[in-house]
Structure 1
Amino acid sequence: MSKDYPVPSGYLERETEVKKSRFIARVYPVSTRDEVRERVASAHQDYPDARHVCWGYQIGRPGSAAEAAMNDDGEPSGTAGKPILNVIQHKDMGDVLVIVIRYFGGIKLGAGGLVRAYAGAAESVLSEVGRVVQQARVQAQVGLGFADEQPLRHWCEGHEGNIEAIDYSTRVSALVSLPVIRQSEFAAFCEAQKLDYRFET
């Protein structure tokens, strides 16, 4: 299922230091809770001696996420997971997990200092990670004559369409995928060419 909202383009890691405490922030694109669990488990494996591995994520459309959660991993309640999640929510990005790994440097930061440090670490990766938007797409089944195949291919090339499958029997049948925003243009093209078409629901 393609998404018409920004998601992280890939994995990124950044490190910040606050009063000798190291904060290692990682951002990942995620689409399931299982992926979140795997990424958090791998952070624990990569940094087995870290004092805290805190995280926040949201899956789904920014502003109306299907799922969001956070974890303070032993930091005082609300000083780690919540600031991480707040930064994610302000970035207008979906399907995103941020993990912040902390090595304690011997100087206590206090609740306000922790909030600022975790928010700053999350900001450091989220401001640098690339964004990708996959436009929502729709599929259409098209029945056409052999002479109509070239015009159909030509239309697809000019309108971000893809011919996903094509079958030649007495007539040609094609499965076409195209951006939802091109749906009415495609319908007009098919009607002008007298092609049979129906959109998959």
Structure 2
Amino acid sequence: MATFVLSALLQSNYQAPVYLFVPPETLTGVAAVVASSIPRIHGQGLTIVMRDADVLRSDARITGFWSDSYGADLPDACYESPNAGYHSVFSRKSDHVQTLPYAEFAVAQLAEGRSLASFLKLCEQCRVKSAEELQDLFALELAPARLEFDRLLRLIDNPATLPRLRQSPAARQRCVDWVRSDLAKFAAELGGVLDRAGRVGLEKGELLSALDRLLEALRRH
């Protein structure tokens, strides 16, 4: 359940209300896991309450509800986007919440009695401002296989993370893979352009002048 809650919060950049059908002691445990998994500044607005009724009227980010009545459940709206709902007895949960790698990692680490303090300190040093940036930094530092190209672009464009990317052999290799992939696409597109230009009957001189500009751009970089 803690993995679900943390995933729901990260997926929505801490904005989605999360509703849990859980006893109070379970809610306390989930709250502790969440607080130990995210930077302190990210947790400042995460209010957590236990309610006896009218859970949808709660202003808290995480709301717990519990009943001993047979078949008791959260309102259907709790499970619908943008909300996120989880029933600890029936295992009913919102389908739109994806299990995120960092959430799995953080919950597993804490379950084994390990601290996330060093990673969270790094988040502060790199001035991580959003859930997306937290997951980017996690991929860079602890899960380089998850460095998709869009993550690489964000890490490159972020002055706080670029030095760490340069120091990571795995991340640098992912950059090489990315450049090769893009150049292969460019070469294929260029081949198509030249083929169409030939069919139109453009002179070689006209094409070479355009290629010269391309080569000059490559030399500058």
Band of TM-score, shorter chain: under 0.3
Q: TM-score, normalised by structure 2?
A: 0.23
Structure ranking higher in helix proportion: 2
Q: TM-score, normalised by structure 1?
A: 0.24
Structure ranking higher in strand proportion: 1
- Larger relative contact order, structure 1 or 2 (CA cutoff 8 Å, min sep 6): 1
